[in-house]
Structure 1
Amino acid sequence: MSDAYESLERFIRNEMRMSHIYQPVMLLVLLKSKGRATVREIAQISSLT
């Protein structure tokens, strides 16, 4: 696997805290959009969940 993937996986498993409910949604949006999304795009998706 790529270094970027392994770095992201390590961060999610070891460092990410669920202190904010939208973190998983934001990660999902960024992963699906190749790492780029506007605040508006993330907000639109988070309002659907």
Structure 2
Amino acid sequence: MNDEQPADLTADLSDEPRGCLFALSQPPLMLFLAFVATLILGTAVHDLYRW
């Protein structure tokens, strides 16, 4: 049997680099990006169609 502690296994996983998809999967970041995109879309529509 293997005598490694579970902490050793998690330490190996934490050394792996995380990519951009991991960062985009975070809900606060997605909410912020959605808010910024909504502001940009709103200003674009306002510039195109001046009511």
Give the TM-score normalised by the residue count of structure 2.
0.29
Between structures 1 and 2, the one with greater helix share: 2
Pair member with larger Rg:
2
